[in-house]
Structure 1
Amino acid sequence: MKKFLICLLLLLSVGVQSETFRIATGEFTPYCSSVAKNKGFASHVVSEAFARQGHKVEFSFLPWKRALAQTQNGDFDATSWWAFNEQRAGNFLYSEKLLEAHIHFFYVISHRPDFDWKTVDDLNGYRIGKTRGYFTSDKLEAANKDGKVTFITVNDDEQNFRLLLYGRTDLFPVNIVTGLELLRTKFAPNIIHQVTFHPRPMNSRPGFLLFPKTNKRSQEIMRIFNAGLKSLRTDGTYDKMFDDLLSGYYSQ
């Protein structure tokens, strides 16, 4: 009987043995960063989800294209975080939704105190800042093409906020987290109180943890992650982490 119990305990200990999963990612503060608290919001969610299932995570920060390519080649167990597209879906399994990036219109309160919108037609006549290389939305791009709105395109988000503050544009659509982060870190403390964002998102884009189809264990590892992520969402931990993201916790 004693030998049986010892064998059973050994089997159970093997069954719950902790693993360390290797995750390739890139720099995109405050979602993921080698110098951010907990490696950034997305990385924190990933590590906590695996921890809920008894496992650890090791992040490698690489150029984004290399992170994707080396994960596909089997050098990493997963890569974080990516939006969906058909080409990637051919090579990777997509986890449950890790996060959702919301694009909102930022504006200067004193310039547009009554700003509101429900449809793109409500934006007719507006000058809209756009960062080169960004895509806004099909409807807004069409409105610009038809001359209903005017895009003013510059090289980066910080420039767009300066145009907004100088009154050269009326609106600037940008990821809400990116926008708040820039206002906190690149402008004087009084500036952030002059700028706000409309609560209605222009669009939202989910992001996922990707697992290479070349790895025979990817389905298993993905199930582990998804279970941990569900646990974080169920008990409210995820919502608390997202509130921390908006408050600037991950970039302090």
Structure 2
Amino acid sequence: MNKLIMPLIPILVIMTCTSTLSRAEQPLLTIHAVDFPPYEIENPGVDSLLGFDVEVVIEAFARVGRRARVDFRPWKRIVAMAQSGATLAMLSCEKSPGREKFINYSDPISKATRTYVASADFTGNPPQKMEDAKGSKVLVVSGYAAEKELIAAHIPYEPIIDDTSALRVLLNRDYDLFYSAREYVQYVAGGMGIAEKVQYFDTGKQVLFHLCFSKKWPDSMAIRDKFNQGLAEIMADGTYTAIHAKYK
């Protein structure tokens, strides 16, 4: 009996070592995002905060044995990369008509309040819902899901390259409203020293953000499912809440 068992021991050791080596050699996962604090922060300050969505993604992947990093590019380029399979995933990403053709959505990772931002001296009719902006001069970031919402509501707008530029234009040129996410604008306005120069008109609409995986990336569905597994774990044990608490 011993002669039959003994030869199996070295084989089991080799299999265990090979499995461990395989996990260690798994490639670093690169996610692409646009600077969108406090969700994603391209240039962390002295507090070294990366953005709560960035931290959540890195930690969720870590729980399932994968290393991840976030690289920053312009949003339109990121969307094109996801369409062609040149990136694994884009962050943070809303569900939007047409995206399901090339995107597999993760479980929700965060949310935002849709709002109209105006200068503090705005004297027009305060919009209480999205449609109330008709007749106003509206700014929105080109390529965002918010732009498609304005299109669907038949609200004329001026497209702009990014959120920071929109805030500067709003305060220095002849525009009435900027359609965006309240959480983002409040965070950035504080950092720019313009918190007292803007006001908000929430539309009653909340949106969910996801990690959006390119369908053309190899094994993206399996990677997405692993990410969801890690996300559920950090939500269950309090890590997710602790990450967000650092940004309040």
* TM-score (norm: length of structure 2): 0.67
Deviation for aligned residue 1:235? 1.3
Residue 185 (structure 2) pairs with residue 179 (structure 1): yes
Q: Is the 8 A contact 1:24 1:61 kept in 2?
A: yes
Instruction: Find the counterpart in structure 2 of residue 148 from structure 1.
Output: none
Deviation for aligned residue 1:44? 1.6
Q: Is the 8 A contact 1:131 1:157 kept in 2?
A: no
Q: How many residues align?
A: 225
Instruction: Find the counterpart in structure 2 of residue 53 from structure 1.
Output: 64
Instruction: Find the counterpart in structure 2 of residue 225 from structure 1.
Output: 227
Q: Is the 8 A contact 1:32 1:39 kept in 2?
A: yes
Structural RMSD (CA): 4.3
Q: Is the 8 A contact 2:85 2:215 kept in 1?
A: no
Distance (Å, rounded) in 1 between the aligned partners of 2:168 and 2:23: 48
Unaligned ranges ≥5, structure 1: 109-118, 146-154, 163-168, 248-252
Distance (Å, rounded) in 1 between the aligned partners of 2:180 and 2:85: 34
Instruction: Find the counterpart in structure 1 of residue 13 from structure 2.
Output: 6
Identity of aligned residues (%): 22
Q: CA 1:240–1:159 in structure 2 vs 1: closer, same or farther (change >3 Å)? A: farther
Residue 35 (structure 2) pairs with residue 27 (structure 1): yes
Instruction: Find the counterpart in structure 2 of residue 151 from structure 1.
Output: none
Per-residue deviation, residues 12-57 of structure 1 (Å, max 9, x unmatched): 3145435311212222233223212353222221111111112111
After superposition, residues 1-252 of structure 1 pair within 5 angstroms as: 1=6, 2-14=9-21, 16-17=23-24, 19=26, 20-36=28-44, 37-103=48-114, 131-132=139-140, 156-157=166-167, 175-187=181-193, 202-245=204-247, 247=248
Instruction: Find the counterpart in structure 2 of residue 113 from structure 1.
Output: none
Q: CA 1:197–1:86 in structure 2 vs 1: closer, same or farther (change >3 Å)? A: closer
Distance (Å, rounded) in 1 between the aligned partners of 2:97 and 2:61: 27
* TM-score (norm: length of structure 1): 0.66
Per-residue deviation, residues 87-138 of structure 1 (Å, max 9, x unmatched): 1111121111121112357899xxxxxxxxxx86xxx9xxx99545666988
